[in-house]
Amino acid sequence: MQIKRMTKLTHKRIGYARVSTDDQNLDLQRDALTKAGCQVIYEETASGKSSQRIELEHCRKALRSGDTLVVWRLDRLGRSLSDLVKIIGDLEQGGVTFESLGEKIDTGSASGKLQFHVFAALAEFERNLIRERTNAGLSAARARGRVGGRPAKLSEKQIREIKALMADPQCQVSDLAKRYGVSRTTLYKRVGGGAAGQDMRRCAKNEPLRLT
């Protein structure tokens, strides 16, 4: 008679610890995560604003359904509220629970899930608020005759002046660029069409040879 042995799957508690600079110490987070039962701890030195967090990516790849990601505090994981909500949401979709020791949040419990949904609602509110303020600012600018985007480096008056100056056979593009505080590329882009473009190409031919 053949006896089948059932292998019991053990769910892991994996920790993630982060400090912003080399001067800061990971000992406090490491001790707290070890005490919380984390078998593996991924440690990283990276600014919270940085999108490049290699150890966090390694940590997330190591997580499997049924595992728990544990952090010391919420600000160790997310760069912002919306970023935090996205990461926890991705974990939830993969069957991974999340626990923050400092805030006593555990998405494996009913109260923890409720807290997460409150955070998600706050993140959505924050996004809508930013969107509304941006739209209101653009509307106010348009009402005053301004449009969005970067201001033009050359005004229409300056463009007319440059076209007039380029009619001089002795003009040089580099002198014009220096005078108006723009690059040669900007001059070609803004003034380089039609007859003005022909004048500009003639001016360019007047440029002295530069040895490097």
pTM value surpassing 0.85: no
Q: What is the spatial distance between Cα 127 and Cα 137, in angstroms, rounded to a whole number?
A: 15
CA-to-CA dists, residue 143 to 129, 137, 151, 195, angstroms:
21, 10, 17, 36
Q: Which residue has the tokens 């106010």?
A: 140
Would 211 be classed as within a structural domain?
Answer: no
Q: What is the spatial distance between Cα 115 and Cα 123, in angstroms, rounded to a whole number?
A: 12
212 residues of the chain, pLDDT tens digit each? 454 454 455 789 999 999 987 668 899 999 999 999 999 999 999 876 767 889 999 999 999 999 999 999 988 988 788 888 889 989 999 999 999 998 898 998 888 888 887 877 776 777 677 777 777 777 776 776 655 555 567 778 887 887 777 776 677 777 878 877 888 787 777 776 555 555 555 555 555 434 33
Would 210 be classed as within a structural domain?
Answer: no
| Residue of 94, 102, 96, 93 lying closest to 71 (CA atoms) | 102
For the segment 63-76, what is each residue's pLDDT rounded down to a tens digit?
Answer: 999 999 999 998 89
Catalytic residue among 20, 50, 82, 111: 20
For the segment 93-115, what is each residue's pLDDT rounded down to a tens digit?
Answer: 999 999 999 889 899 888 888 88
Q: Do 22 and 108 belong to one domain?
A: yes
Q: Do 17 and 114 belong to one domain?
A: yes
Q: Do 116 and 184 belong to one domain?
A: no
Q: Do 35 and 117 belong to one domain?
A: yes
What is the residue range of 58's domain?
A: 13-123
Would 140 be classed as within a structural domain?
Answer: no
Q: Do 105 and 25 belong to one domain?
A: yes
Query: Is residue 139 among the annotated active site residues?
Result: no
What's 50's domain CATH number? Answer: 3.40.50.1390
Domain count, the chain: 2
Would 199 be classed as within a structural domain?
Answer: yes
* Element containing residue 100 per DSSP (H, E): strand 97-100
